[in-house]
Amino acid sequence: MSFIPNHVLPSTAQQPPSAPRGPDETASHVAEILAPLHEVARDSASLIASRQPIEIRRLSAEIHKFLLLGQRGGGKPIRLGLFAGFETGNVETVRALASLLLQLQGSLTLSRDFALIGYPVVNVRGFTAEAAPLADFEARFARDSAEADVQFFKTELRKWRFNGLLSLRVDPSARGFYAAVRSEIIAAEVVEPALAAAASALPLATQAVKVRPGDRYARTADYAHGRLSPPADVQPYPFEIELYAPRGPITEEHTDGLFVALTEILRLYRAFIAHGQDL
């Protein structure tokens, strides 16, 4: 584990090479990827799916959202936001998140005590005919644009008051999967052992866990630059984990590794807060 300043991480505006599909095909592909989740949700008591029709600059689009309620334990569920679809036209993280939710829906004991709220596509314009870069969404998020996609995510962040945020990202320069975390203790107690458990299926970068500054100044700067996060003065501030995949397809084996990593994060974080309550 190492401590790194903000500028060492790949820019949130950095984009991988264009996907081989055209923009219209990409939007259709996203709908195809998410169709099984919507179908399962129709007959599920634990998975709730919704589509929010929106219009951005005269382009029609949908924001997909999935609420998965794990096996009920004691107390109030831990609210964890799962985000993907940041990099323009790159459906790999969208597919990975859909697969993770489907697997978790089939084994609710693994998400015991959690309410998982999944957003497979954050950069909505990046998956439309305009194929706008992530920098466009971040610029509009930073200035609190009235456009529907920005207001949707700002409302969700306020409404749910997440305990944690977990994002699936792509870093074209990476040589393996790695995680970026704001808290040294979450990195050491939760993320490092979770990635170690998944290492056989998930090829990890040499530096598998990077710790970002977690002070209020850093959070304020990130929010001002349009990073998908709540305002810096939210109390308590949610823990943040970003799982970065290298360039290229996320294979079925990689998804299995991400599933192990995610379920271990859930288990270890649940144990971490339970231990804290006992202190």
| Total structural domains within the chain | 1
- 191-239 pLDDT per residue, tens: 999 999 999 999 999 999 999 999 999 999 999 999 999 999 898 999 9
Grade residue 75 by pLDDT with cuts at 50, 70 and 90.
confident
Q: What is the pLDDT of residue 90?
A: 93
Q: What is the pLDDT of residue 121?
A: 98
The pLDDT of 241-246, averaged and rounded, is: 98
Q: What is the pLDDT of residue 194?
A: 98
Q: What is the pLDDT of residue 15?
A: 40
Residue 43 has pLDDT above 70, yes or no: yes
Q: What mean pLDDT is reported for the chain?
A: 91
Grade residue 277 by pLDDT with cuts at 50, 70 and 90.
low
Length of the chain: 279
CATH (domain of 214): 3.40.630.10
Measured distance between the N- and C-terminal CA atoms of the chain, rounded to whole angstroms = 25
Q: What is the pLDDT of residue 19?
A: 43
Q: What is the pLDDT of residue 249?
A: 95
Tally the C-alpha atoms within 13 A of residue 165's C-alpha that lie toward its C-beta: 26
- 129-188 pLDDT per residue, tens: 889 999 999 999 999 999 999 999 999 999 999 999 999 999 999 999 999 999 999 999
Task: Determine the structural domain holding residue 122 and report its residue range.
Answer: 2-278
Q: What is the pLDDT of residue 22?
A: 58
Please enumerate, as own/partner, the contacts of 197-201 that have beta carbons within 8 Å and a separation of 24 or more. 197/260, 197/261, 197/264, 198/257, 198/258, 198/260, 198/261, 198/264, 199/257, 200/257, 201/253, 201/254, 201/256, 201/257, 201/260
- Copy the structure tokens of residue 5: 């300043």
Other CB atoms within 10 A of residue 233 CB: 10
Residue written as token pair 């810096």:
232
Q: What is the pLDDT of residue 206?
A: 97
Q: What is the pLDDT of residue 166?
A: 98
Q: Is the peptide bond before 10 cis (omega within 30 degrees of 0)?
A: no
Q: What is the pLDDT of residue 27?
A: 82
Residue written as token pair 């195809």:
32
- 96-132 pLDDT per residue, tens: 999 999 999 999 999 999 999 999 999 999 999 889 9
CB 174 within 8 A of CB 244: yes
The pLDDT of 76-93, averaged and rounded, is: 96
